[in-house]
Structure 1
Amino acid sequence: MILTIDNVITPEELTQLTETLSKGKFVDGQTTAGWHAKLVKHNSQLETTFPEIKTLQDLVINALQRNLLFKLAIHPKHIHSLRFSRYEQQMNYGSHTDNALMGGKQFFRSDVSFTLFLSAPESYEGGELVIEKPEGKLCYKLNAGSIILYPSTFLHRVETVKTGTRLVVVGWIQSLIRDTSKREILFDIDTVRRSLFAKNGKSVEFDLLAKTHANLLRQWAE
């Protein structure tokens, strides 16, 4: 399941992120790429020693954790490996798949990848996120403050930036539910049961859906 959420951070948080990042030093993004992704990764990333990087990471994680749609769809266990990436003119990231395990000494699985857009789409040309699916490619260039989440199993790329600067936060999530199809089933059931409750309150039908959702979650959660 591919999910986009508008305004996952507030305008004030967006301003805090962009103003703080403008003071940071950006280094070659290849330093954090896998051995094969290094061949196609051409961007820059905020230096990990930047004094305020933990504050910025916590800001993004807290924004995600307070978003109900995110929690219902993703079932996050660990949000990890956040990187602040910048693409300037002629920079891109060729087709690749994200590493299955990340985090250095403490390994986390990458079940879901995300890109949080920090630059207004009209401020740069090119730079679309392209997700490659068997039935064709999907292109995304979201408003500043909006996020896209997608299975980490997909091949994807970032098109060349022709003008302007593309500033984003990328990161990964280890979900309580490893399998993307099972996450989608749980999300659909939860959406229906919440809709029924909003219309009719607690009913026999609601109770059966709630029971099914809880039992599937109990069976599938890791």
Structure 2
Amino acid sequence: MNMLLDNYDQCQLDNWYWFQEAFTEDELLQIEQIQEPIPFNIAKISHDTDDLEIKRKSEIKWLKKEVPDFKWLYERFITMATEANKSLWKFDLTEIVDDLQYTAYHHNGGHFDWHMDLGSEKYARRKVSITMQLSDPEDYEGGDFEFMIGNEVVKLPRKKGCVILFPSYFLHRVTPVTKGTRKSLVLWIYGPPFR
């Protein structure tokens, strides 16, 4: 019993983890090349609303798990999630359900308002969210990735190639892009629902 309590005492459930340079320039170029043939779709949110553009405005495409060209990306993200989880949260992580999401937020106000990745039904099993910066910070204006932790808004790093991991219950957003395009990769790691 004490060992279990000690283990939970070491958890940092209100903290996030990041890898400053998780991918090389060659790997980032490879990602751009392998995603290129896949067509974009307008991003939706899990519950349909009439004011979708108020909540989210972006284009997405899915890099499917079963495609061999993408396997190395999934393996890299699993390795990073394992390290972050062992260090901070100690969640029970079991699987990847959704495919990798490649997202583009364009200069016409592309954004995603405050939201959590944790939700109802299958989304109740999301434990760890991962986002990777694909654009150079100089390539766009606005488009800040931010957390709301308590009453504090925390602006996240914009470095190309950095990967940020956080509990899926974190409130987060991407502010409107006013110039250029912000591109990212997003993935979620699942486990049993929080109790």
Deviations 1:55-85 (A, max 9, x none): 4542321112344734633664323422111
Stretches of structure 1 that go unaligned for 5 or more consecutive residues are 180-222
**Contact 1:126 1:162 survives alignment (8 Å):** yes
The amino acid that maps onto 2:72 is L
How many percent identity over aligned positions?
A: 23
1:174 equivalent to 2:178? Answer no
Q: Larger Rg: 1 or 2?
A: 1
Q: Matches of residues 130-141 of structure 1 in structure 2 within 5 Å?
A: 130-141=146-157
How far, CA to CA, are the matches of 2:146 and 2:139 in structure 1? 19
Q: In the alignment, which residue of structure 2 is the partner of 1:123? A: 139
Deviating 4+ runs (over 6 angstroms): 50-53
Moved more, 77-86 or 151-160: 77-86
**Contact 2:118 2:126 survives alignment (8 Å):** yes
The amino acid that maps onto 2:47 is W
1:58 equivalent to 2:77? Answer no
Q: In the alignment, which residue of structure 2 is the partner of 1:190? A: none
Change (3 A) 1:34 1:176: closer
Stretches of structure 2 that go unaligned for 5 or more consecutive residues are 1-14
Q: In the alignment, which residue of structure 2 is the partner of 1:79? A: 96
Q: What is the SS of the residue equivalent to 2:102?
A: strand
CA RMSD after TM alignment = 2.9
The amino acid that maps onto 1:150 is F
Moved more, 10-19 or 153-162: 10-19
Q: In the alignment, which residue of structure 1 is the partner of 2:29? A: 15
Q: What is the SS of the residue equivalent to 1:20?
A: helix
1:69 equivalent to 2:83? Answer yes
Deviations 1:93-124 (A, max 9, x none): 11112243576xxx771111111111111111
- TM-score normalised by L of structure 1: 0.66
- TM-score normalised by L of structure 2: 0.74
Change (3 A) 1:54 1:142: farther
Q: What is the SS of the residue equivalent to 1:165?
A: strand
1:35 equivalent to 2:47? Answer yes
Q: What is the SS of the residue equivalent to 1:156?
A: strand
**Contact 2:118 2:124 survives alignment (8 Å):** no
Number of residue pairs aligned between Structure 1 and Structure 2: 172
Which has a greater percent of helix? Answer: 1
Q: In the alignment, which residue of structure 2 is the partner of 1:26? A: 40
